[in-house]
Amino acid sequence: MTAVLQTTPTAEPVANYRLSLRRFTRNKLAVAGLAVVVLFLLFCFVGPLLYSTDQTHTDLTQVNLGPGGSHWLGTDAVGHDELGRLMYGGKVSMLVGLAAGVLATVIGTLWGATAGYAGGWLDAVMMRIVDAGIAIPALFILLVVSAITTPDTLGLIIVLGLVSWLVPSRLVRAETLTLKSRDYVLTLRATGGTHGRAIRRHILPNSVSTIVVAATFQVADAILLVAYVSYLGLGVQPPKTDWGGMLSAGLTAAYSGRWWLIVPPGLAIILVVCAFNAIGDGLRDAFDVRGRG
Amino acid sequence: MKETEELKVANILEVEDLGVTFGTDTGDVPAVREVSLHVRPGETLALVGESGSGKSTVALAAMGLLPSNARASGRVSVDGTQVVGAGEAELARLRGRTASMVFQEPATALDPLTRVGAQIAEVVRNHRSVSRAEAAREAVELLRRVGIPEPERRASAFPFQLSGGQRQRVVIAMAIANSPGLLIADEPTTALDVTVQAEILDLLRALAADSGTGVLLVTHNMGVVADFADRVAVMLNGEVVESGSVEQVLLHPEHEYTQRLLEAVPRLEVEAPVVESVPREVAGEPVVEKAEPATPEGEAVVELRGVSVRFGRGPGAVQALQEVSLTVRPGETVGLVGESGSGKSTAARVALGLVAPAGGTVSLFGRELGRTRGRARRALLSGVGVVLQDPVASLDARMSVGECVAEPLRMHRRGLSAAERRARVAEVLERVRLPRELAGRGPRELSGGQRQRVSLARALVLEPRLLVADEPTSALDVSVQRTVLEVIAELQGELGFACLFVSHDLAVVQQFAQRVVVMRAGQVEEQGPTMTTLLRPETEYTRRLIAAVPVPDPVMQRRRREALRTGVTA
Amino acid sequence: METLVYLARRVLQSLVVILIVTVVVFCLLHALPGGPARGILGPQATAQQIASFNHEQGLDRPLPVQYVYYLGTLLHGDLGTSYTLNEAVSKLIEQRLPKTLVLTVLSALVGLLLAIPLGMWQAVRRNKPTDYVITTLSFVAYSTPVYFLGLILVLVFTQTLHWFPSQAPQGDTLAQVFADPVGLVLPVVTGAASMIAVFSRYMRASTLENLSEDYVRTARAGGARQGAILFRHVFRNSLTPVIAMLGYYVPVLFGGALVVEQLFNYPGMGLLFWSAAQSSDYPVLLGCVLVISVATVVGTLLADVVQRIVDPRVKAGQA
């Protein structure tokens, strides 16, 4: 009955964010992940300034060259320089991934927070819709969409956002449910505070860490999903490309030994997705919030 | 003469110069320094102190159960075996056979997926090579010994199917399964209701007396100490500051800290069970000079009439409140008491409009709460201040103390300028005896007692007509509790608000409230002026409740226990 | 009795979810440019042809009416007829679904059997080299697009080492599939990889949480050895929440099967779906989506029921 305060001994009171920062920097994988993301951003956005290549015109005199010489990573079947193309495709992959991940998190946050705070039948209906959405595999929807239309980059971001907001919505709903029964929210409500105030001043600010962690994982998933999009026939159209497009274009070439067409984009995808996952893991432990395992 | 006789018996537990340091995110924290103590077979040593004093750390160190970030130094020997620095295999042979432990939280101490009989049998088979069937039989026998009804049937129950008290009995059965020489009990009754606490203490006492087991009892509750211990060691900041026999320490404390601690313990005033009056050397000063129970007049501040509340639907629904009626008049303090599950917190939440009643009506300041909406409802509620139990959850850790206290001003005094708000916050912080500089700090930097005073400041910043306090001090140490209660009482005198005070602690309510409402299983058991109801209760339930509260005076507590046993309750 | 009430409620919930899925599928059907008619009659169809087709099929009626009609045909097990294969969609799915189930169930089993011990091992060796290595590997496995992983496996194990064929077992019956177990190795491994990654992470987190529970301390205080604590208590308690996650993983498994079947030319539902997408065979596409969603809902329901059996607290509504 008497809940004696369980105190964990701490040497000194440390501001919250500094403790989080310290925990994050101690996670070696997370720090490595952050470094990888920064390096790839530099590579894709600053790289082309230092290593300039023509990625819009085909050059049929320079097709299928192996790595070496003036083309460090060789060329593809229409004569694009592979290293330059890796930078060029990375821009699309990372921009679309980031935008779609953020969009999914925003939709998921609004949906989940509304359902969790409202509770009752509205919550039940909204969560059944989420269940239904989760029941339809994203790849199947993307393939159906690809059978209907070929979207542009903005359309792609919207489609990817629309198929991946479900998981963050469940996380945010769970967080909202916990927060709305916190003593400080009850106190606010009992002394005449409005719902709007409870949401604005307490629930949203306190969900920020959960949302940031969810967004990080969501970006990782979205970049991975972008890699599937070309494979499913939904990708950006040539001469534009992304890492997934390079990978699926190089699939058949790989069987005839032209490994340089698939290994660089494949590794790039793996590294960047790993990096975002590691950052998410580190942030989750640093903020001490729940998120996916 | 007595001394030499005792020396012949080897100590079952001997602690010498024990030191424990925790490695944390923010550096090393010493938790225990140079602690020396011993327990002889058949005696009970109580290790008392407030939170953070290191008493539980000593208990865990004696079992070799310290968490992995702890480093221990010095000597701890259990029945001659050195524990500090011993290997896991050696410790495993010791634990559950030579020394056993009972923990604070019966809710989480048992494996939720394993039947309780199997968990007891496992301890038996950890140390003795008996067959499965034999171990299962022993488990049933042990359940019978710890007083579980129908032990054959209960052995196949899962922990969640048992009550808190029964679970604690199962943990005790596990602890005594191999007749250990030493039993370490870490706050064994803290999570339990007082009537259950009394039963568990009786059980432990009987078991220890039967088998000559030495007991190390870790507790913060002086009543439990008086009820159970032979000797006492008082800990402060990781060190033992005073030790001696229970009479000596509780009745004639020498160390200044022990005196302060005992003085802060709220004492339940009870009618002496024996005709002669018991002299009380350390009389606990009542915290508050209660206003004379001159029936307060005027319209009720809050009134519950025939309120019923149900949680859930269908067959799993719980009737949380049934036909509950109570009234708080201007300026008076009403104590709402009861055991866990009695519905006292739910009743307070109904009064606050947080729980809508299924039946009955709630009036706040003369207006029916269920019929007001929107702006009118918010205006009505602005006359209420709230302090809840959990000092951590009560304040939003993302806001500064100043912002927390200013929140009601932002809601209901929109016209105030920022400077006026700051001034008002500083003023109310000083009223709850906190420095105004605290406004810029974060709640995480404050102690539990400071946080509760911040909550109180927030509750009082609008000068409400009603303060609802739900177990405001039950998570706090007694010395801190005293300060918080004093502040509330003082401000009530100045500001004249009424108070609905929910508590499980009869002693606190007795000192704090003019009227008391006793609740049981969702209903009002009885109510009346505090002194009448708690000294001469009308119902058997209230009598039992009062009799179960141990008083922190070993001589008097012994008489009460005797009286209870022979059925001569006052 | 309590169990029956619970089951009834869960089944009802699942039905609602499936109903919502049909709405989504129906909307997708009508989002097609030119509607289903354009899909069926082909891009050369004239406006007049489309109008008369729409009238014949009742497609000019208000959408809610059409939806009710669509539901009615679904209830009769009628998923429509394939444009290209000229067969009932339900018939096609009936042929292909068992093979996809074989692939996904095998992948799930292999995945779980590896992931659970790995996750526990990591938890016990938390922050030691073993933990870091497995964590890194599982990040890599999770981050590799399935088709890229499959390609690498084929390049290594088929082209270079000649251990396994690059083609999955062919044939129409399950017996023919099982007659060629070696052919199943690469598809199953490819499908299991990300599952190993995800579930070893779940198991690691769950085990870590349980290792810090009070009951572990009680068991230690009773003299239990580390091994006994792990296998007698922590294992079961950690596994229960992981089982609950299985239901939500069903769609991911099917998504994986879609790619794996295409990659290894395994004639399951994924391949059917794939070729239907290439030829804009809408009835097949939508039928497959519907069937897979139902499978997912049923999978989630099963996972819940299993958890209820394993964990007595769930039954009492305490957990």
- The answer to whether residues B400 and B441 touch, using CB atoms and an 8 Å cutoff, is yes
Q: For residue B190, tell me if it sits in a domain.
A: no
Instruction: Closest CB to C258: pick one of A139, A251, A293.
Output: A139
Structure tokens at A225: 């999903």
Q: For residue B228, tell me if it sits in a domain.
A: no
Q: For residue B526, tell me if it sits in a domain.
A: no
Q: For residue B148, tell me if it sits in a domain.
A: yes
Q: For residue A147, tell me if it sits in a domain.
A: yes
Chain C (238-297) residues lying within 8 Å, Cβ to Cβ, of chain B:
240
Q: Each residue of A43-69: pLDDT tens digit? A: 888 888 887 777 777 777 777 777 776
Q: Each residue of B63-73: pLDDT tens digit? A: 999 988 899 99
Sort residue B103 into left (φ over 0), alpha (ψ -120 to 50) or beta.
beta
Q: Which residues of C touch A146 (CB under 8 A)?
A: 277
A97, A76, A96, A101: which is closest to A86 by C-alpha? A76
d(CA B316, CA A70): 76
Residue C145 contacts A, CB cutoff 8 Å:
yes
Per-residue model confidence as pLDDT tens for chain C (319 residues) = 667 777 888 888 888 998 898 888 888 777 666 566 666 666 677 778 878 877 777 777 788 888 888 888 888 888 888 877 888 888 889 888 998 998 999 999 999 999 999 999 999 988 888 888 999 999 999 999 988 898 888 888 888 888 888 787 787 777 777 777 788 889 999 989 989 999 999 999 999 999 989 999 999 999 999 889 999 999 999 998 888 888 888 888 888 998 999 888 888 898 898 888 887 787 888 888 888 888 888 888 888 888 777 777 765 544 3
pTM value is 0.85
| In the predicted structure, residue B502 carries a pLDDT above the cut 90 | yes
Report how far apart the first and last C-alpha atoms of chain B are (Å, whole number). 40
| In the predicted structure, residue B435 carries a pLDDT above the cut 50 | yes
CATH of the domain at A106: 1.10.3720.10
Q: How many domains does chain A have?
A: 1
ipTM of model = 0.83
Task: Judge: C17–A132 Cβ closer than 8 Å, yes or no.
Answer: yes
Q: How many domains does chain B have?
A: 1
Task: Judge: A146–C202 Cβ closer than 8 Å, yes or no.
Answer: no
Residue C237 contacts B, CB cutoff 8 Å:
yes
Note the pLDDT of residue B272: 57
Task: Judge: C2–B92 Cβ closer than 8 Å, yes or no.
Answer: no
Rounded mean pLDDT of B341-362? 92
Q: Which residues of B touch A184 (CB under 8 A)?
A: 393-396, 404
Note the pLDDT of residue A104: 95
C283, C280, C285: which is closest to C43 by C-alpha? C280
Instruction: Closest CB to C202: pick one of A146, A274, A293.
Output: A293
Determine the structural domain holding residue A149 and report its residue range.
81-287
What is the layout of strands, in order, in the sheet containing B384-387? Answer: B384-387, B466-470, B498-503, B333-337, B515-520, B523-529
**SS3 label, residue A202:** helix
Question: Can you tell me which residue has the tokens 């040539």?
Answer: A238
Q: For residue A272, tell me if it sits in a domain.
A: yes
Q: For residue B484, tell me if it sits in a domain.
A: no
d(CA B342, CA B193): 11
Q: For residue A31, tell me if it sits in a domain.
A: no
| In the predicted structure, residue B175 carries a pLDDT above the cut 90 | yes
| In the predicted structure, residue B253 carries a pLDDT above the cut 80 | yes
pLDDT band at residue B59 using 50, 70 and 90 as cut-offs: very high
Note the pLDDT of residue B269: 83
Determine the structural domain holding residue B116 and report its residue range.
109-179
Q: Which residues of A touch B448 (CB under 8 A)?
A: 5
Q: For residue B126, tell me if it sits in a domain.
A: yes
Burial A80-91 (b: 16+ CB within 10 A, else e): bbbbbbbbbbbb
